[in-house]
Structure 1
Amino acid sequence: MGISAQDVKSLREQTGAGMMDCKKALQETEGNVDAAIDFLKKEGLAKAVKKGGRIAAEGLIFSKVSGNEAILLELNCETDFVGKNEDFLKLGALLADTVLANKPASAEEALTLSLDGKTVQDVINANIAVIGEKLSLRRFDIITAKDGGNITLYSHSGGRIAVLVEISGADVADDVAKDIAMHIAAMAPNYLDQSEVPQDVLDKEKAFQMEQLKDSGKPQEILEKIMIGKLSKFAGEMSLLQQVFVKDSGGKQKVGAYLKEANKDAKLTQFSRFAVGEGIEKKKEDFAAEVSKMAQ
């Protein structure tokens, strides 16, 4: 019997297996979808669907600088053990190379890229079948150097955190660029300069601070003056150039001042920082419930 493209698409959505594998399964089972699913499971090609509901919050940040371009890419798995697996490491490096070369607009688009005659999603699914855990390409960031700047890469804790930072305008010593990248890894700034902090973020903080001071008895005009200082400090703590440099023993020198001290013509142009699993709610294991379940 003929196998329609819609049948193949439907089976792929149910199993996560590759298009050609789904077509073959339907041909082998004469179009019987349930039998095709069983066929794929026996072949180890439908493991992805079994693991689709699991939380993959471990993994690594794969990073690369190539000329005036660089990438950070987060590939997740379920356990830190798999994060050290050779197949996982090869897959992550391959995905970083592929995404950097093709520059898709999103992680979803990246999954549709062609890789060795298959889609990136198919390649990931094949690795799920081999490795035995849910794997997911969560996100990536590609930066391109501006005005002839130099991009420095810093990877911390074996790839659990990775940073890209561009310094332009003048050359600085490698250790200065690395120190700033290490600072970004440690202090996780949200913005380059405090002028970039969105007004709605400042308004929310102001409302919070005003609520804290509402019973202080101070006049409104005094509270407004107090807010100027509090909001400036709040914005500065989130912004790279205004953060206190983490390696300054005196605890006063700002990152911007540290860079100017190294070279007055140097300028921090942009940065990117990824940490594995940030923003993902990890599953909390209930050991007692697990033991009880096993005893039933």
Structure 2
Amino acid sequence: MTVTAAMVKELRDSTGAGMMDAKKALTETDGDMQAAVDWLRTKGLAKAAKKADRVAAEGLVGVSVKDGRGVAVEINSETDFVGKNADFQSLVREITKLALETGESIDVLKSTHLNGEPVETVIQNAIARIGENMTLRRMHVLDGDTVVSYVHNAATEGMGKIGVLVALKGDAAKAQAIGKQFAMHIAATSPLALSEASLDPVVVERELAVQTAKALEENAASAKPKPEAVIQNNIIPGRMKKFLSEVTLLGQAFVINPDVTVEQAAKDAGVEITGFARVAVGEGIEKEKEDFAAEVAKMAQA
């Protein structure tokens, strides 16, 4: 029997399985929809689909570095318990290593084979095996003369709650020595960009609008208002300078020595920071509010 696109869509809608899995199920069962559903269930794929609407905001970030290239990969799970699971940690380690080898986009990584199957299928199998929804959410590849990595709140070697990569130019030994300190700084301060030049213009425009409105409002309410020229030429630029020093890596005060900026600390060490990446687990995901007892109950029922 010919498997049509409409049949694949129907099966996907009813089970939540991936397109290729749905097509294979229909092919294996000669187009019998119920048999295809059962086929997916026996493979654990339909079971995984039932969990797909659960928020996966926990998990781990895996980092790996080799020959001037670093990669940070975020794989999410529903609960923090899974981050301590040896099976899950092994999954993160293998996918991170594969990401370093491919050096491509997240979509390419999902379709790349790991142990004979696409990474996307490997994750679906892990969902069925471990019993929680999981997502390969994002990856960041960073290239440079020297790339240094750091993991904050490490669950085990090479993975934890925050993964940081820093690319540097200059003497390799010096870059390695101070690069770890810069990576720790980034983990702590979470800069938005390397420098003002690389900061999103939309962010700058938004902040300028806020600071302008705030300065004008404060001046209007002041018993001794300042001339508008002072507001526009001194106060607002001063506040924007402070903002840029707080959100750009090179402009921030170095946490190891707050008397100098990160840029100056790099110069003093004889190196130049050319790029960075900071990936934190669950960043930007709206998490469900759930107490600890409810989380334990969910684990017991999985």
Distance 2:211 2:18 in 1: 52
- Structure 1's unaligned 5+ residue stretches are 291-296
Distance 1:68 1:51 in 2: 38
Matched ranges for 1:148-227 at <5 A: 149-158=145-154, 159-171=160-172, 172=174, 174-215=176-217, 216=219, 217-224=225-232, 225-227=234-236
Aligned to 2:299: none
Deviation larger for 131-140 or 13-22: 13-22
Structure with a larger share of its residues in strand: 2
- 2:264 matched to 1:277? no
Matched ranges for 1:228-247 at <5 A: 228-247=237-256
Distance 1:183 1:19 in 2: 43
- 2:262 matched to 1:255? yes
Distance 1:104 1:59 in 2: 22
- 2:62 matched to 1:53? no
**TM-score if structure 2 supplies the norm length?**
0.83
Deviation larger for 194-203 or 53-62: 194-203
Residue identity matched to 1:228: P
Distance 1:22 1:117 in 2: 19
Offset at residue 208 of structure 1 (A): 1.0
Deviation larger for 95-104 or 8-17: 8-17
- 1:192 and 1:20, CA in 2 relative to 1: closer, same or farther beyond 3 A? closer
- 1:45 and 1:150, CA in 2 relative to 1: closer, same or farther beyond 3 A? same
- 1:195 and 1:21, CA in 2 relative to 1: closer, same or farther beyond 3 A? closer
- 1:261 and 1:78, CA in 2 relative to 1: closer, same or farther beyond 3 A? same
Q: Alpha-carbon deviations, 1:64-94, whole Å to 9, x = none?
A: 0111211000000011111111111111112
SS at match of 2:70: strand
Distance 2:134 2:65 in 1: 24
Distance 2:79 2:216 in 1: 47
Offset at residue 218 of structure 1 (A): 2.1
SS at match of 2:142: strand
Residue identity matched to 2:170: G
Aligned to 1:293: none
**TM-score if structure 1 supplies the norm length?**
0.85
Offset at residue 133 of structure 1 (A): 0.4
- 1:286 and 1:34, CA in 2 relative to 1: closer, same or farther beyond 3 A? farther
Distance 1:52 1:275 in 2: 22
- 2:132 matched to 1:141? no
- 1:157 and 1:204, CA in 2 relative to 1: closer, same or farther beyond 3 A? same
Answer yes or no: is the 8 Å Cα contact 2:17–2:46 preserved in 1: yes
- 1:205 and 1:27, CA in 2 relative to 1: closer, same or farther beyond 3 A? closer
Aligned to 2:82: 82
Aligned to 1:114: 113
Distance 1:19 1:199 in 2: 40
Aligned residue-pair number: 280
Residue identity matched to 2:260: Q
Residue identity matched to 2:262: V
Residue identity matched to 1:257: Q
CA-based RMSD: 2.6
- 1:166 and 1:27, CA in 2 relative to 1: closer, same or farther beyond 3 A? closer
Aligned to 2:300: none
